[in-house]
Amino acid sequence: MKYIKYFILFGFLASFSANALLEVSIIKSKDDSFPIVIAPFEMIGKFQEDVDLAKIIRDNLNRSGQFDAKSTNQLTTGPIDFDFYLKHKKDAIVFGKIRQISSNVNHAEIYIYDVLTQKPLYVNKIAFTNGALRKTAHALSDVIYYALLGQKGSFNTRLSFVTVSKSKKNAKRIYRLKISDWDGKNEQTIIKDDDPILSPAWSADQRKIAYVSFKNNRSDVFVKYVFQETLPQKLPKFNGIASSPAWHPDGKNIALTLSKNGNKDIYLYNFESRKLKRLTTNVAIDTEANFSPDGKSIAFTSNRTGQVQVYIKNLKSGKISRATFEGRYNAKPVYSPNGKDLALIHRVGKDYRLALLDIASRDLTVLTQNKSDESPYFSPNGGMIIYSTNRDNKGILSIISLHNNQTVELMQKEGEVREPSWSNYSN
Amino acid sequence: MSKKILLLSSVIFLSSCASTSISELGDKFLDLINPSDTPTEVTDLSEEIFVAYDDSAGFTFEELEVLSNDELIEIAKEKGLEDILKIDADGNLQNRDEIINALLEAEALLDNATQELQSLSNDALIERAEEKGMDSVVVSGELKSLSNDELIEIAKEKGMEDTLVLDADGNLQNRDEVIKALTDNLIILDEDGNIQNKDEVIEALREGAEETKLAALLLENAGITSTLYFSYDDSEIDEVATRIIIQHANFMQSNPSFNLRLEGHADERGTREYNLALGENRALNVKEVLGLYNLEDRIVVVSYGEEKPILTGSNEEAWEKNRRVEFSYY
């Protein structure tokens, strides 16, 4: 039953600033989540990072909406008091230790026990280098999620987003393209500019982010290697607007909205051949393309019928079919990781709300009561959707659990945060 | 000073209107035009413009007075004062004194701007230049000391790859030209953040700023609005908008030195990328009307979508003001 496996997590970008600007609050938590205990981890040795590993894991699991993870007031070292946990209606207990092995290498041991059967569900040992304690906490969170739910977690992942703040000197807007861990920590600025930044999108290999910048006084699409100190590369100059980048899962192609002769259509740009292929030809606005996970279709927004609706193009057959039929405004579709659903923005009365569309049945479920939701994006496991919305006239990010609609809000003390995108699993 | 500018502006605009005929309009909009809507009345301000002029750092009255009529005509054309030239059938200048005064005014206008710019601190100048859309680059040492590859990289990064001439192996063929283009168009900063090319930045600002300022004054004097508003999720040009666009068409024909930047905007409702497309459609529809006057080549269209609101706030008042196309001359 008991097995030990090693994998190495390398220390990651030690230059990250410790202070996270994003603040987090959880709202609308329901009582239908998995009750577990994550005991404090025993720390053996000296660690530079001031990180409460068990707390990060608890926060992760609680924010997913799937768990009600509590702590205990003591380390779990001796025999486990299963009766105590049974009495308090806990289903599982997680504990572990972090041990310094050498000046640069540490081990994390983790034990997950089922309270009812008193048997270990999962035991593992992970090696990691200095500076990777936080990343280890996210990796262990994924491990626990999988051990208890049989599904992948989305914790060892990153977000990208855009912040807008006002310069104290002259009240000018400053735009920053940032990345962070999924919980808003480890924030890092990738691009800073006086001109608006829009639509950042991670490539599937997570090494690149494509985004729209107005730095040349028109919209251009740039690609930035996130972890390299190279300048952003501008995609070849196209006539008119270039916007709405969407990576093909193969990473070699990117869909763009180009306005050639004023007609906004979706094109596919190939980075190797440097050639453009036109994907839509309608005289109306076609934009906001998003690839299905298998790369065989795109969903996009179009006003071809006079209303703003979502369409799907099968790239093999070339057939375009309308996907949304409810309401007069449906836009910005993104595919769920299993390809069966679309998250999109749906107009209800005067409000623009996040909604989930079952593509096959055409069932549309409105997920929020907000006034102006925008930019939805699925977590890599499909269990959550991040989107931007307004609270007290301020742009914030919101993460909704599709398990129980529990919402986690990420906001900045000053200024706005918007345009979120979720990376795939970290390497 | 401002009074003088206004007087000069009025003369340029009003005299130019007189020479523009409505009959040049495209058929499509003929039925929409009420002649009384367009300014056709010419007020003679020629007396008022003879304001005593005593503060010249560029041309002096003495310098201009000794010039021949033909030389004056040439200078006036260079300075964009073509419209106020009155030339008879034999090619003789009819309003020599007026032209000399106008040239002195124009010189003072630019000179004033230059002095103001010269007096700015390093940081204030950078700020002003960035506001005007100039891009900055930090260079250790001088541009001249950079390798060809470094110059190529800067040009590409700053959207100026058009200036590069490369041979088949990718080697730079026009190093001096590229250095000049970068110096003229970018803010070159040293590692301490000081401007290396102050003269060129001021020159660029002076040219751009004065054209934009002059155009804004001329429009204001003529009572022509520089913003068109639109309905929700709509880019149609209605009758009111058409009249305003025609006024701008007349203005552009009368002032051939101005180019037009049409900026399309949307309100915050709906998704950002869709609004970006919507804003462009609005500006493109305005351009289409101006195209009936064969003005396309002088127009660039940009869209900012919902990114640059006039009013922030989530209410109808703000939304109405933000759904717009702005006319910006340069």
- Candidate from A215, A217, A287 with C-beta closest to B274: A287
pLDDT at position A418 is 95
Mean pLDDT in residue range B143-161: 87
A375 touches chain B (CB under 8 A): yes
**Domains identified in chain A and CATH numbers:** 8-149 (3.40.50.10070), 159-425 (2.120.10.30)
A287 touches chain B (CB under 8 A): yes
Q: Do A308 and B127 touch (CB under 8 A)?
A: no
Q: Is the pLDDT of residue A70 over 80?
A: yes
Q: Is the pLDDT of residue A1 over 90?
A: no
pLDDT band of residue A427 (cuts 50, 70, 90) is low
For the stretch A37-63, what's the b/e string if a residue is b when 16 or more beta carbons lie within 10 angstroms of its beta carbon?
bbbbbebeeeeeeebebbebbbbbbbb
Q: Residue A403: how many CB atoms within 10 A of its CB?
A: 17
B301 touches chain A (CB under 8 A): yes
Q: Do A214 and B301 touch (CB under 8 A)?
A: no
Chain B residue numbers with beta carbons less than 8 Å from the beta carbon of A232 are 157
Nearest CA of chain B to the CA of A13: how many Å?
Answer: 25
For the stretch B130-152, what's the b/e string if a residue is b when 16 or more beta carbons lie within 10 angstroms of its beta carbon?
eeebbbbeebeeebeebeeeebb
Mean pLDDT in residue range A289-316: 96
**Domains identified in chain B and CATH numbers:** 2-118 (no CATH), 132-200 (no CATH), 224-329 (3.30.1330.60)
Mutant choice from B120, B127, B271, B288 vs A, greatest count of A C-beta within 10 A: B271
Chain A residue numbers with beta carbons less than 8 Å from the beta carbon of B271 are 288, 301, 331-332, 345, 352, 374-375
Q: Is the pLDDT of residue B3 over 50?
A: no
Nearest CA of chain A to the CA of B256: how many Å?
Answer: 23
Mean pLDDT in residue range A221-245: 86
- Nearest residue of chain A to residue B316 (CA atoms): A350
Q: Do B273 and A170 touch (CB under 8 A)?
A: no
Mean pLDDT in residue range A318-343: 97
Q: Is the pLDDT of residue A170 over 90?
A: no
Tens digits of per-residue pLDDT, B292-322? 999 999 999 999 999 999 998 889 999 999 9
Q: Is the pLDDT of residue B9 over 70?
A: no
Q: Is the pLDDT of residue B79 over 90?
A: no
Chain B residue numbers with beta carbons less than 8 Å from the beta carbon of A390 are 314
Higher pLDDT: B104 or A224? It is: A224
- In whole angstroms, how large is the CA radius of gyration of chain B? 23
Q: Do B307 and A288 touch (CB under 8 A)?
A: no
pLDDT at position A24 is 66
pLDDT band of residue A69 (cuts 50, 70, 90) is very high
**Tokens representing residue A6 in the block:** 């090693």
Residue where the block lists tokens 């103001």: B116
**CA atoms of B128 and B121, how far apart (whole Å):** 10
- Nearest residue of chain A to residue B159 (CA atoms): A216
Task: Annotate B173-218 with three-state secondary structure.
Answer: CCHHHHHHHHHHHEEEECCCCCECCHHHHHHHHHHHHHHHHHHHHH
pLDDT at position B111 is 64
Higher pLDDT: A425 or A191? It is: A191
Tens digits of per-residue pLDDT, B194-247? 888 888 888 887 776 667 777 887 888 788 899 999 999 999 999 999 999 999
